[in-house]
């Protein structure tokens, strides 16, 4: 019984298929005629349109890349950076001789705030340029530093093969020590553009090329600190100076108030490649005008997150330090550098 139903079904399907094919064959002539007529009408329309058209000169509107610098990819690396401040963002425009696809990081930071998420990355274009946007923190009671950097940890294998696994082949005034173990250093390219924002007013920041002046005895164990200058405004001291400490060493600068119990008026700053340093430190505004106020500059190999090679060089307990600025901790087990000056 199931077979009979299947046969009947096949027969019906076969008839339907035949009818459908037949209908298609019967209408074929009409379709061919209609298609020919449509083609003729289309050709006549195109001829009429072409008669009224004129050629237009064109350029590629989004072709903004220029020529690559002649020294692109050389180890003596440079860049020029311009930052346009807007109400809710920064527009960063850079030009460099870095290899295309080098990854550049841009972030906002402050001594008074911890900014989370205020950073971005961008890859260098074929002509050495890079353009990025960064969210504005929109705080107006602190100095904001916009840091532009190239670090080894963000680069592709191709970039590291050229500049070195630790960027150790890179040279030039923008190169800094970023990290180290006891023997080898890891480098980065870096520029910092610092300013104090004012609400409703917008600035343009330009990077500067450092001119380093290296001391002949940099790294000597007889440590000196010199040429310290201090400026102040209503909230902060601004301290600059020079030393022969190793690049990458961290020094601690603190406001001391012998007549008061105080804390938090301090900052840690990293020594530049040539031993120079610059820092800002808050000071209290509710103390007596006659109260003594000092600035203490300290270097302790065993504190302030020193790099491994710095600790190795000066000793884990500062035992390698010599000179007039050496002090001992009360325990007598550790030595450090102390430079103190009175500011009030």
**DSSP for residue 201:** B
Measured CA to CA, the distance from residue 127 to residue 164 in angstroms comes to 22
- Residue 163 phi, psi dihedral angles, 5° rounding: -95, -5
The DSSP secondary structure of 32-73, one letter per residue, reads: HHHHHHHHHHHHHHHHHHHHH--------TT----PPPTTTT
Per residue in 268-313, pLDDT (tens digit) is 999 999 999 999 999 988 888 788 999 999 999 999 999 999 999 9
Q: Which residues contact 216 (CB under 8 A, 6 or more apart)?
A: none
Question: Cα 249 from chain centroid?
Answer: 22
**HSE on the CB side for 210, CA within 13 Å?**
21
On the question of a common fold for 71-207 and 214-344, the answer reads yes
Q: Which residues contact 156 (CB under 8 A, 6 or more apart)?
A: 101, 103
The DSSP secondary structure of 125-185, one letter per residue, reads: -TTSEEEEEEE-----SS-EEEEEEEEGGG--HHHHHHH-TTSTT-BSTTEEEEEE-SS-E
pLDDT at 73: 97
3-state secondary structure of 121: strand
Higher pLDDT, 171 or 11: 171
Which of 186-195, 232-241, 254-263 is predicted most confidently? 186-195
The answer on pLDDT for 28 being more than 60 is no
Q: Give the CATH class of 71-207.
A: mainly beta
- Residue 252 phi, psi dihedral angles, 5° rounding: -110, 125
**HSE on the CB side for 259, CA within 13 Å?**
10
**DSSP for residue 272:** P
Q: How confident is residue 48, by pLDDT bands cut at 50, 70 and 90?
A: low
Per residue in 201-211, pLDDT (tens digit) is 999 999 999 99
Map out the domains of the chain as residue ranges.
Answer: 71-207, 214-344
* Poorest-pLDDT segment among 38-52, 101-115, 178-192, 317-331: 38-52
**DSSP for residue 9:** H
248: left (phi over 0), alpha (psi -120 to 50) or beta: left
- Residue 208 phi, psi dihedral angles, 5° rounding: -120, 145
Higher pLDDT, 221 or 13: 221
- Residue 15 phi, psi dihedral angles, 5° rounding: -65, -45
The answer on pLDDT for 19 being more than 50 is no
The C-alpha angle 113, 232, 250, rounded to 5 degrees, equals 55
The CATH code of domain 214-344 reads 2.60.40
* Poorest-pLDDT segment among 25-29, 117-121, 299-303: 25-29
Contact 205, 82 (CB under 8 A): yes
Centre a 10 Å sphere on the Cβ of residue 305 and count the other Cβ atoms it contains: 8
């Amino acid at each position: 019984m199931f077979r009979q139903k299947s046969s009947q079904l096949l027969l019906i399907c076969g008839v339907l298929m035949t009818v459908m094919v037949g209908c298609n064959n019967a209408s074929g002539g009409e379709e061919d005629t209609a298609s020919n007529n449509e083609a003729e009408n289309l050709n006549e329309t195109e001829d009429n349109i072409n008669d009224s058209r004129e050629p237009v000169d064109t350029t590629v509107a989004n072709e903004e890349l220029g020529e690559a610098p002649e020294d692109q990819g050389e180890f003596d690396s440079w860049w020029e950076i311009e930052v346009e401040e807007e109400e809710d963002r920064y527009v960063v425009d850079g030009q460099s001789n870095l290899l295309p696809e080098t990854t550049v990081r841009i972030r906002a930071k402050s001594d008074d705030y911890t900014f989370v998420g205020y950073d971005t990355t961008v890859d260098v274009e074929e002509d050495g340029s890079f353009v990025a946007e960064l969210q504005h923190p929109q705080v107006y009671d602190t100095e904001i530093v916009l840091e532009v950097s190239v670090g080894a940890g963000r680069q592709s294998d191709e970039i590291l093969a050229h500049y070195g696994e630790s960027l150790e082949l890179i040279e030039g005034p923008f190169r800094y020590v970023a990290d180290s173990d006891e023997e080898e250093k890891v480098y980065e390219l870096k520029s910092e553009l610092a300013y104090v924002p004012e609400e409703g007013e917008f600035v343009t920041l330009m990077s500067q090329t450092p001119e380093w002046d290296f001391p002949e005895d940099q790294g000597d164990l007889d440590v000196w600190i010199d040429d310290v200058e201090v400026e102040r405004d209503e909230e902060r001291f601004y301290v600059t100076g020079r030393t022969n400490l190793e690049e990458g060493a961290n020094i601690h600068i603190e406001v001391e108030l012998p007549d008061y119990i105080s804390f938090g008026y301090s900052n840690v700053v990293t020594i530049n490649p040539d031993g120079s340093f610059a820092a800002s430190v808050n000071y209290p505004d509710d103390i007596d005008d006659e109260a003594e106020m000092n600035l203490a500059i300290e270097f302790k190999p065993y504190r302030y997150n020193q790099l491994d090679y710095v600790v190795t060089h000066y000793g884990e307990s500062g035992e390698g330090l010599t000179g007039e600025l050496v002090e001992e901790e009360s325990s007598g087990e550790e030595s450090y550098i102390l430079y103190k000056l009175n500011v009030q």
